[in-house]
Amino acid sequence: MGIITTTLTILFLVVFCDGNRTFIMSPELPQSGKYSHGVLVDNTLYIAGQVGMDKEGVMVAGGIENETRQALINMGHVLTAAGCSFKDVVKTTVYIQNISDATIMNQVYVEFFPQNYPARATVQIAKLHLDALVEIEGIAVLDLSSTSVASHVNMEN
């Protein structure tokens, strides 16, 4: 039996369904690479690592502070596309090129997660794609009883 794939556009959002997996591609992010911006499995959203790249695929200038802010803005685009928000994020992993920049990264991070912080690992890494200074991935748990979330993921194959 073949895989049935459905394509649906909702509010400029492209969603691909395959069984219990919904592949999220936000139009607010560059459409480069062979990966999905997010994958929703049941009520868990896995968010691909986001760097400080704008919609045109250009890294923002201004160092770790601006790259962190743009990476989290990008994460927000994926969350919005899936019908949820930063309050639904339960885990992040921050890959940072220089651990000495963690204090600056944290100052920006709390702008997006002001309370009830998600669990987090922060890892220094030698080199990131596009010479990014930081990359942030996340996991969110959605309340599927929410009308906005249900409208995004309630699709028949």
Amino acid at 4: I
80 in any annotated domain = yes
Question: How many domains does the chain fold into?
Answer: 1
The residue whose two tokens read 């890959």 is 95
Q: Give ∠ CA 95-26-34 in degrees, rounded to 5.
A: 65
Q: Which amino acid is at 134?
A: V
- pTM for this model (two decimals): 0.82
CA distance 151 to 145: 10
Instruction: Assess if residue 101 is contained within a domain.
Output: yes
The more confident residue out of 154 and 102 is: 102
Render pLDDT for 22-71 as a digit per residue (tens, 0 to 9). 999 999 998 877 889 999 999 999 999 999 999 999 999 999 999 999 99
Residue 53: which of 108, 125, 122, 131 has the closest Cα?
131
Q: What's the confidence (pLDDT) of residue 16?
A: 59
Q: Is residue 138 part of a domain?
A: yes
Q: What value does the mean pLDDT of the chain take?
A: 85
Question: Residue 19: which domain range?
Answer: 6-153
> Quick check: is 1 in a domain?
no
> What CATH number should be reported for the domain holding residue 13?
3.30.1330.40
Residues facing residue 140 across a β-bridge: 45, 89
